Amino acid sequence: MDMFTGSLYNNMKWKNHTNLENFPAFLHYMVNEEIKFVADRMLGKLATYLLMVGFDTLYFREKEITLLLRIAREQNRIILTRDTRLIKGIAVQRSIFVIDDKPIDQVRQVLKEMDLHVNMDDCFCRCLRCNRRLRKTTAAEVAHKVPPYVLISHTEFSECLHCNRVYWKGTHHKRMETMIQTLADPRRP
């Protein structure tokens, strides 16, 4: 299903919630550039989940809507929002009004409306704090940044060179991986 023939545009219920009026420009954006999102302050978990599956996503915590719009315009990002005033009151070229309350369903909505798919190879490649790409590293390089028991029990590490956060496959990783697999397999609820 593509953006133009799918339920998003043809279903009147969605037509008022997703602003994709400038189809040629939007198509150009999708074909020629990496898709980037900015999630408003109501969508922190959605932003985290999108980062987990490898999408460039800023989490905008501020109340100032004009700054959000400027960031979206300057960085060519699609706005994800639950703010009805933002969607109805301002002409936003690339935006999705997120309907669902549950973060996992919010991710499904964004993936469906953008016709995106989760690639397991892209997962866990971005810093959940600052959105930068992670770099694979060795235990020796991060020994001074992690607790000793982590060095004993883990061999694979990733590091954010921007904020110095270190990641490893801790106890929560399997749960996160299971959640991501449900997103990667469209047949799973």
Domain ranges in the chain?
Answer: 7-116, 135-184
Dihedral sign from CA coordinates of 157, 160, 164, 170:
negative
Q: What is the pTM of this model?
A: 0.77
Please answer whether residues 183 and 52 qualify as being in contact, where contact means their C-beta atoms are separated by less than 8 angstroms.
no
Q: In which element (H, E) is residue 96 found?
A: strand 95-97
State which amino acid sits at residue 52: M
Q: Is the pLDDT of residue 28 over 50?
A: no
| pLDDT tens digit sequence for 158-185 | 999 999 999 999 888 888 888 888 887 7
Per-chain mean pLDDT for the chain: 80
Mean pLDDT of the region 125-153: 93
The CATH T-level fold of domain 7-116 is: Rossmann fold (3.40.50)
Task: Name the amino acid, one letter, at 17.
Answer: H
Residue 97 has which token pair? 């009004």
